[in-house]
Structures are given as C-alpha cells and as structure tokens.
C-alpha cells in the first residue's frame, strides 16, 4: 500500500461506525419456524449485554437499534430503564423502530389501512415512538411498513398512497429539530401483490413530501436480484436524501444473510460511491450505517461479529480507491484503467492493516477469537439455556 492509501485506510477505520440491531441477538426464524438457541437473548438487558460484547471486541458499534414493542413494551415508561442499560453496557440507544406490522389490527395495513381508526392507531404508535426517541436521545426514527396487498384489485393503491402521505407528514411534524425519520422501502414480503412503499422512488417521494427531516433508508435486501443498488445510493447522495442503510446480504429475497457472505463486491461498490462522493464534494455524508440481520442458524453474537468485521474490511478496501486517478480516467473514458481503480482496491488484503489499527486502539486484533477466548458465550449459555430450552421442550 502507498502512503496515501495507508493514510486513507487509517482515516476510514477511525471514522467507520455501524449500528447493531437489538433483534439480532434474540431468537427469530423464518415463516417455517425458528430454531431456538440456548444462549439467545430474551430480555432487553440481555440484548444490550450481547451487543455490548460486539462493541467491546470490535470497537465500532457504539449504538444499538431498538424495536419499540420488543424492547420498550411499556413505551415511554421504559426509556429510563433503557437509558440505564445503555450506560451499564457501554452503548447508546440508536435508531427507534416502531412496530406497525404484527398486531392483528394491522391485517390490512397500518398508515395505508382503509379503516381510518386503524390509521389513527398506527400514527399514535409512531408518535409515541418519536417521544421514545426523544427520551433516549435517539436521532433517527426508522420507519418500515409491511403494508400492501396480496391480490390484484383488492385495494385502491392511490388511496393508500395518499393515506401514507398524510401519516408521514403528521409524524414528521412531531420530530424535534435534531431528529430525522428514515423511510424504508421493500418491494415484497409480507405483502405479495403490492407493497405501499415498494421502491426507492416511492420512498423518496414520501420523504420529500413529509418534510426536510425525512430521508430514505436503503435496506440492501430490499431489491430485485439484478438491481444496481449503488446507482440508487449515488442518486440519493446527490439529492441529499440518503439517510442510511440496513445492511445484510441476500441470495434470493430479503434473506438477511451475513453481510458480504454472497456478494461482498456489491457492498464495496456501495461504500465506494459514498467515499467518492465525499472526496468530490469535500462533505462527509450524514449516513446511518446499520445492520438488519437476525440469524436463524449461526450463533447470534458470532454472526454479528462476523458481519461487523466484514463491514469494516469492505469499507477499508473502498477507502483505498485513488479518487483523483479515477476521476481522470472517467473523464477520458479510459475504461479498463477506471475499472481497475476499483478492482485493485477491492483485491487488496486490508486485514493486516486492520489488525495493526485495532491493536493501536487497544482493541483485539481478532475480535472473533478474543470473544471466543473470553468465555462470555459459555457463561450466558449456562445462565440462559434452562429458560430458553424450556421453550423447546414445550414445543416438542
């Protein structure tokens, strides 16, 4: 690596942070069932404790995303205890995720439901989530909706679009000056004919209509197989509408696989577009990097450490691109040389530099190995398995 690259890499490693999902430490599964793990977290405190381990060994995950109904079941009353957990485990509350998809009343949608009473109840929950975010000092309200329909002709899509506009505007009006709302899109699942916020264009229009604190959230699993995600990212960057990411990988659908396990080069290209934009504009993108995964088969904490170290590695690789040379090659249409600027960076092994950087910060050179040596997993397995596996026998 050249001196320029070494400097760029150290700057990247020192700046990069990625948010952990509380739900990533709890038992979750697929619609075909879930395989309970003896050490899985079942309380908010256990989720904080496990997330605290990932941050302790990696040093790059200071915040944890929270799901309101799952982590703060009593709503704003739980902000005090959650703030205490954050202090106890060396984390900060991150993005706040309302839940308007699992209660029975949301069968035909939430903000898009044809029943105004359900729309009102969904909005009330979202407004309470805004207050929870304020109580926790969280900046981002992360909005994902399962709304849609399963068959042609069963819903008026235009009416639903307008109801969503109304609801998102109302939510936006309650945000504090320093808060944001991130509008997430998803083309399918659990609705299988239409989803009310199906693609980046719909999310962009909803965010722009809601107000200036609304941005778009890109979940990498929420795209059709051949979509060019980095093109969407760089468009949103140029429009100052990129709020953040939910990172995961996918082979077929919204599989929420470990980041970079299927297509690491795609993640690299996303990071590259952001870093090239920042180089070109001299501005640092105000982008929330977040993980949205919860593993059914891999061990919860190990899978999270694996995802985090992969994210750091791909971001570090992307930081090696020679932006000056790339801009020149693009202008001249020197195609092979331009492409090589990316491929050379992507093929550079940055792991030795990552280890050196980690040691220089008093962190573990190998977070996975350090976690495994710590005995934490054995301890929580002993503490939790009786409670967790009792559920299994009751399943039997």
**Considering the complex, what minimum distance in angstroms separates the CB of residue 156 from ligand AFD?**
24
Contact 158, 202 (CB under 8 A): no
The count of residues interacting with ligand AFD (CB under 6 A) is: 9
**Considering the complex, what minimum distance in angstroms separates the CB of residue 201 from ligand AFD?**
18
Interaction pattern, residues 225-264, with Mn ion; x per rule: CB under 5 A? ---------------------x-------x----------
Q: What is the rounded distance in angstroms from the CA atom of residue 144 to the CA atom of residue 129?
A: 13
Nearer to Mn ion, 55 or 246 (CB): 246
**Considering the complex, what minimum distance in angstroms separates the CB of residue 296 from ligand AFD?**
13
**Considering the complex, what minimum distance in angstroms separates the CB of residue 11 from ligand AFD?**
30
Count CB atoms within 10 A of the CB of residue 84. 12
Q: Assess 254 for contact with ligand AFD (CB under 6 A).
A: yes
Q: Is 180 exposed, middle or buried (0-12, 13-18, 19+ CB in 10 A)?
A: buried
Task: Give the list of residues 6+ apart from residue 245 with CB closer than 8 angstroms, or none.
Answer: 217, 218, 219, 220, 270, 287, 288, 289, 290
Nearer to ligand AFD, 97 or 309 (CB): 97
Using CB under 6 A, pick the residue from 50, 71, 184, 313 that binds ligand AFD.
184
Nearer to Mn ion, 78 or 292 (CB): 292
Reference 68, options 115, 136, 164; nearest CA is 136
Nearer to ligand AFD, 52 or 221 (CB): 221
Interaction pattern, residues 127-166, with ligand AFD; x per rule: CB under 6 A? -----------------x----------------------
Q: What is the rounded distance in angstroms from the CA atom of residue 393 to the CA atom of residue 396?
A: 5
Of 31-39, 262-270, 290-298, 362-370, the segment contacting Mn ion by CB under 5 A is 290-298
The count of residues interacting with Mn ion (CB under 5 A) is: 4
The three-point CA angle 240-6-335 to 5° equals 60
SS3 of 118-148: HHHHHHHHHHHHHHHHHHHCCCEEEECCCCE
- Nearest residue to ligand AFD on Cβ basis: 144
Reference 248, options 297, 189, 311; nearest CA is 311
Using CB under 6 A, pick the residue from 19, 71, 219, 322 that binds ligand AFD.
219
Q: What is the rounded distance in angstroms from the CA atom of residue 136 to the CA atom of residue 94?
A: 9
Structure tokens at 205: 């229009």
Contact 1, 353 (CB under 8 A): yes
Q: Assess 97 for contact with ligand AFD (CB under 6 A).
A: yes
Task: Give the list of residues 6+ apart from residue 164 with CB closer than 8 angstroms, or none.
Answer: 111, 112, 145, 147, 196, 197, 206
**Considering the complex, what minimum distance in angstroms separates the CB of residue 145 from ligand AFD?**
9
Q: Assess 230 for contact with ligand AFD (CB under 6 A).
A: no
Q: What residues make contact with ligand AFD under the rule CB under 6 A? A: 97, 144, 184, 186, 219, 246, 254, 256, 292
Q: What residues make contact with Mn ion under the rule CB under 5 A? A: 219, 246, 254, 292
């Amino acid at each position: 690596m050249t001196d320029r690259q070494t400097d760029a890499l150290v700057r990247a490693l020192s700046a990069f942070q990625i948010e952990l999902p509380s739900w990533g430490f709890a038992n979750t599964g697929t619609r075909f069932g879930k395989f309970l793990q003896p050490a899985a977290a079942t309380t908010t405190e256990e989720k904080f404790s496990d997330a605290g381990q990932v941050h302790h060994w990696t040093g790059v995950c200071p915040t944890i995303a929270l799901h309101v109904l799952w982590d703060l079941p009593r709503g704003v009353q739980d902000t005090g205890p959650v703030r205490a957990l954050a202090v106890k485990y060396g984390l900060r509350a991150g993005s706040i995720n309302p839940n308007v998809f699992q209660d029975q009343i949301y069968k035909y949608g939430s903000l898009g439901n044809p029943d105004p009473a359900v729309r009102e109840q969904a909005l009330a929950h979202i407004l309470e989530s805004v207050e929870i975010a304020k109580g926790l000092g969280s900046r981002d309200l992360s909005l994902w909706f399962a709304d849609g329909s399963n068959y042609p002709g069963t819903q008026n899509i235009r009416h639903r679009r307008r109801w969503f506009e109304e609801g998102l505007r109302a939510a936006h009006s309650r945000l504090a000056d320093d808060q944001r709302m991130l509008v997430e899109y998803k083309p399918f699942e659990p609705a299988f004919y239409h989803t009310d916020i199906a693609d980046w264009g719909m999310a962009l229009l909803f965010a722009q209509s809601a107000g200036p604190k609304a941005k778009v959230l890109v979940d990498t699993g929420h795209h059709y197989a051949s979509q060019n995600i980095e093109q969407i990212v760089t468009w949103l960057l140029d429009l100052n509408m990129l709020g953040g990411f939910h990172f995961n990988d996918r082979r077929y659908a919204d599989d929420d696989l470990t980041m970079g396990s299927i297509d690491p080069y795609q993640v690299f290209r996303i990071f590259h577009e952001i870093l090239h934009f920042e180089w070109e504009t001299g501005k640092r993108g105000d982008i929330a990097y977040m993980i949205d995964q919860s593993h059914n088969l891999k061990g919860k904490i190990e899978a999270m450490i694996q995802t985090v170290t992969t994210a750091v590695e791909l971001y570090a690789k992307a930081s090696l691109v020679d932006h000056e040379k790339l801009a020149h090659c693009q202008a001249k249409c020197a195609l092979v040389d331009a492409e090589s600027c990316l491929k050379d960076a992507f093929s550079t092994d940055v792991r030795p530099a990552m280890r050196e950087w980690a040691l220089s910060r008093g962190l573990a050179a190998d977070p996975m190995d350090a976690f495994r040596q710590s005995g934490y997993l054995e301890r929580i397995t002993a503490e939790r398995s009786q409670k967790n596996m009792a559920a299994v026998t009751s399943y039997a």
